[in-house]
Amino acid sequence: MKAWYKEALDTPLRCVERPDPDIQPGTVIVDVMAVHVPAYLMAMVDSTDIPLPVPLVLGAGGVGVVRKKADDVFNVSVGDVVALDSLVESGDIDHPEDVLMGLGEVGGRGEETEVVDAMRTQWRNGTMAQQVLFPKEAVTRLPGAEQYNDPGRLAFLTWLGIAGEGVVQSGQQPGDVVAILGATGQMGGAAVLVALARGASRVIALGRNEAALEKLATLDARVVPVRLTGNITVDAAAMSCAGAPHVIIDTMGDADSANAILAGFEALRDSGTIVLMGGVRRDVPIPYGEILRRRLTIRGSRMYRSSTVLAIWRMVEAGLIDLDKVGMVEVGIEDPKSAIEKATKTTGLNFVALKP
């Protein structure tokens, strides 16, 4: 099979021939249909500072068709279309640990324990390949997806699942006002789609890219685009233009300022919830007294549960989320450098889908 393979941290990512995976107890082999190529991938594969567990086949998330399953696997059948969840968990309830297949990113406190090292070794290979071996816990059956007429777009389920998990963690109810920080990025755009599908009365889409904001405004009359200024007071007031938000979802990218989040605390309705799931690269000074007096809730969210991506798929199937509103560029597996360059240039509610 062909795969995007990185031999060492100082060697380039290449498309190479790799052995087809062999079935093991508790696993499935999946023919990969499509994988979202994230915009940040170039920075990851070109850096020797990011500790990818090389050698590895790159890639997290995606969709595929079950080719083969072990005899002790009962949650999927051969021929099922499945979401590839990529998050591998230790299963220890008292001390949970997890890693992300195909990237090796460590969850929790980020500690590289013996368990984490073992998981990263056992499950190092990801989804940017023609076939992939996955533990049964990391695949989610998508009933009816075999009838979907544009498989490449299903790759965006990964981003919708991550964004959707943040919305689920927020406890958003129908009729709530929801503010999305960083809505002009791919993750933020996905969060806008999910919040709309879950019945938000207004979605305040906040970002700096005016063209992307204009596109978000065309999704639905309930979307209110707001340009972030970086001024906490000004942005907090703008965030409350449709009433104080019940929920704020942080999808800020690699931001060097926490001002948007601080504006969110200021704008949030009493007893409201803010979910942190973006990429702000600094600590946020928490307004302790306000959180206490106003009974605010702060949640963290990372990746997604199987139940969330299944719920997202049902929204797509029901027409509540229209994937045709997401711009897509399809790429093949032969030239990873060109594909990743395209992904780096793709912003807003657009994405690159690898179809290996």
pLDDT tens-place values along the chain, 356 residues long: 999 999 998 899 999 999 999 999 999 999 999 999 998 888 888 876 677 888 999 999 999 999 999 999 999 999 999 999 988 888 888 999 998 888 878 888 888 889 988 988 889 899 999 999 999 999 999 999 999 989 999 999 999 999 999 999 999 999 999 999 999 999 999 999 999 999 999 999 999 999 999 999 999 999 999 999 999 999 999 999 989 999 999 999 777 788 999 999 999 999 999 999 988 877 888 889 989 999 999 999 999 999 999 999 999 999 999 999 999 999 999 999 999 999 999 888 999 999 99
For residue 129, give the nearest of 59, 44, 39 by alpha carbon.
Answer: 59
DSSP code, position 269: P
Beta strands in the chain (DSSP E): 2-6, 14-17, 27-37, 56-57, 63-69, 81-84, 87-89, 98-100, 131-135, 139-141, 177-181, 202-207, 223-227, 247-250, 273-276, 297-300, 327-331, 350-354
37 touches 345 (CB < 8 A): no
pLDDT tens for residues 325-338? 999 999 999 999 99
pTM over 0.85: yes
- DSSP conformation letters of 4-38: EEE-STTS--EEEE-PPPPP-TTEEEEEEEEEEE-
CA 195 and chain centroid, separation: 15
Interval 229-273: pLDDT, tens: 999 999 999 999 989 999 999 999 777 788 999 999 999 999 999
Count CA atoms within 13 Å of residue 163 on its CB side: 28
pLDDT at 296: 95
The predicted structure's pLDDT at residue 48: 65
The per-residue pLDDT for 192 is 97
Q: How far is CA 182 from CA 140, 252, 351, in A?
A: 28, 4, 16
Distance (Å, rounded) from C-alpha 309 to C-alpha 85?
Answer: 9
Phi, psi at residue 162, to the nearest 5°?
A: -65, -50
User: For the chain, how big is the Rg over CA atoms in Å?
Assistant: 20
**d(Cα 134, Cα 219) in Å, to the nearest integer?**
35
Instruction: Kindly give, in sequence order, each residue whose CB lies less than 8 Å from that of residue 338, ignoring residues fewer than 6 positions away.
Output: 331
In whole angstroms, what is the distance from residue 304 CA to residue 84 CA? 11
What number of other Cβ atoms are within 10 A of residue 229's Cβ?
A: 14
Residue 74's alpha-carbon distances to 49, 77, 89, 215, in angstroms, are 40, 7, 19, 43
